[in-house]
Amino acid sequence: MTSEKQPITYDCRAPNQLPYLHCTKLSPDTYEATLKDEYDFDKDFRKKWKFSLDVQGKFDIPEDLLGRLGWKDNDLLEWFETGHQEFLLVKIVK
C-alpha cells in the first residue's frame, strides 16, 4: 500500500454541492481550470481544461465543462481572486 495521493474524477452535479472553477494563469491570455466544490478544495483532479481570454476580457468555457458544472451561457458568474495569478469562478444562484 502506498501513501501516494490518487487523482480522482468528479461529477459536480451531486446534490448539495456548489461547484466552481479554480483557475490558474498559464500565460498572459491562457488559464487552466479544475473543477472544485466547497468540500474538496485540496483534492487533486485528473481532468483539467484550458481556456483563453480575448482582448475584451471575455472567455469561452468549453461545452463539456459547462455541462459538468451544470452552468449555462447566460448564468451570472462571479470572480474571486485567491492568490497570485489564480482565481475562483463561481455561479451566483438566483
Domain residues of the chain, as ranges?
20-91
> Chain centroid to CA 88: how far?
7
pLDDT 10s digit of each residue in the chain, 94 long?
A: 344 443 334 444 444 556 788 899 999 888 898 887 666 656 666 678 888 878 887 877 888 888 888 888 788 889 899 989 999 888 888 7
Q: Give the pTM.
A: 0.67
pLDDT of residue 38: 61
Tell me how far apart the alpha carbons of residues 62 and 47 are, in angstroms, rounded to a whole number.
13
For β-strands 30-36 and 20-27, DSSP reports them as: antiparallel
Measure the CA angle with vertex 39, ends 33 and 45; round to 5°: 35
